[in-house]
Amino acid sequence: MISMKNILEKLIAKEYLTTSEAEKSLIEITEGKHDDILVSSFLTIFMMRTVSIDELNGFRNALLNLCVKIDLSDYDTIDLCGTGGDDKNTFNISTLSSFITAGSGIKVAKHGNYGISSNCGSSNVLEFLGIKFSDDENFIKNCIDKAGICFLHAPLFHPAMKNVAPVRKNLGIKTFFNILGPLVNPVNPKNQLTGVYNLETARLYGYFFQKTNKNYTITYSLDGYDEISLTGPTKLIRNSGEFIFEPHHFGYKNVRKDSISGGNSVEESAFIFKSILEGNGSEEQNNVVCANAAMAISTSKKLNIDESIKIAEDSLYNKKALKSFEKLVKI
């Protein structure tokens, strides 16, 4: 067992952990070997500085080694998942975009959780709307085969995290677990669209994904959203380089921030979610989810953004996304 006191002293001295130290520390924390005060101290230090690439790899290794793994290697899947923690309280953009992507024929392995630093996470709204959660591989494959999408409820696949959940909930603010979420999908999808809440994290993700064989796009709206918000320019980091996309690059106008706000309860969030899928969303809401879905389609199929927008809009407006959702509810 490592000495958490020594680890904390090293961190307080502004030193960085090795990959091995980071991995061992997180494994022991998730195994409940350290009390909540030490765990809170450990998490708090990483709120005051950026996680290093070695630390990120160590933390990721720990969670992947402990998780329930699912083999979807026969499917060319994509995950649309943001870090959260942007404190913007938008509606469930990445989750809706996932169904639009699935409706376009791309297999989606959506990783998500209950809201920690937001009012309503993807798990909250999907559970309310009748989506069943399971860690059974046959169930997951059946979802992919019938609906084109499966939902991977993080607590089922990362049971070791139960020892950290109360501390995270009590802190109520973003921690490095927000950064880890998109990187520890138990399916390890071949394609990834990931939104982040600041430029430092975008850079960190860029360094990480460069060393993988994934098709990836990292998004950060420069006014602070961890997704393509269309409220202003968006920074993109992709396999092919770095770009700044304005709303007009997607063929859309800038949207007002209040037009993409989420509900104040799970019920309100679910109402917005269903309204958009059923064709009753506002122009701004529709444009934002289509922009994000188009970026996922572009990432997975290596299409240009104009082609991808057409595919995304077809999926939403011709109710293909809704059909994917309805099929998933029935499973």
| Dihedral sign, Cα of residue 73, residue 107, residue 272, residue 307 | positive
pLDDT over 80 at 85, yes or no: no
164-193 burial, b for 16+ CB within 10 Å, e for fewer?
A: beebbeebeebbbbbbbbbbbbbbbbbbbb
CA 156 to chain centre: 16
Report the pLDDT value the prediction gives residue 38, as an integer from 0 to 100: 92
Say what the pLDDT of residue 2 is.
79
166 lies in some domain: no
207-244 pLDDT, tens per residue? Answer: 999 999 999 999 999 999 999 999 999 999 999 999 99
Any idea which of 15-29, 173-187, 204-218 has the lowest mean pLDDT?
173-187
Residues 26 and 56 in one domain: yes
Average pLDDT over the chain, rounded to an integer: 94
**Do residues 218 and 183 make contact, with C-beta atoms less than 8 angstroms apart?**
no
Asked if the structure places residue 261 within a domain, the reply is: yes
Same domain, 147 and 48: no
Which of the four pLDDT bands, split at 50, 70 and 90, describes residue 89?
confident
- Domain range for 54 is 4-66
Q: Are residues 147 and 276 in the same domain?
A: yes
Residue 172: the pLDDT is: 78
183 and 239 part of one domain: yes
Q: Is the pLDDT of residue 142 over 60?
A: yes
Amino acid at 9: E
pLDDT at 11: 96
Residue 168 lies inside a defined structural domain of this protein: no
Beta strand 108-112 with 149-153 is parallel
Domain boundary among 25, 45, 66: 66
Assigned domain for 165 exists: no
Q: Is residue 100 part of a domain?
A: yes
User: Between the CA of residue 13 and those of 6, 7, 45, 55, what are the distances in Å?
Assistant: 11, 10, 11, 16
Shared domain for 54 and 177, answered yes or no, is no
Q: Is the pLDDT of residue 117 over 70?
A: no
Domain match, 138 and 23 both: no
SS (H, E, C) 158-208: CHHHHHCHHHHHHHCCCCHHHHHHHHCCCCCCCEEEEECCCHHHHHHHHHH
CATH number of the domain that 62 lies in? 1.20.970.10
* pLDDT tens-place string over residues 282-303: 999 999 999 999 999 999 999 9
Same domain, 59 and 109: no
Distance between CA atoms of residues 297 and 306, nearest Å: 11
Domain-embedded: residue 133: yes
59/83 same-domain check: no
φ, ψ for residue 80, nearest 5 deg: -110, 105
Q: How many domains does the chain have?
A: 2
Strand partners, 109: 150
User: Are residues 311 and 184 located together in one domain of the fold?
Assistant: yes
Mean pLDDT within 4-33: 94
Which CATH number does the domain housing residue 223 bear? Answer: 3.40.1030.10
Q: Kindly state whether residues 83 and 114 are assigned to the same domain.
A: yes
- The band of 118, judged by pLDDT with boundaries at 50, 70 and 90, is low
Residues 198 and 257 in one domain: yes
The residue-averaged pLDDT of 48-71 equals 95
Question: pLDDT-based confidence at 58, cuts 50/70/90?
Answer: very high
The answer to whether position 163 is within a domain reads no
Residues 13, 148, single domain; the answer is no
Q: What is the pLDDT of residue 1?
A: 75
- Cα 202 from Cα 217, distance rounded (Å): 10
Is 140 within the bounds of a domain?
A: yes
pLDDT tens digits, residue range 261-288? 988 899 999 999 999 999 999 999 999 9
Q: What is the pLDDT of residue 165?
A: 81
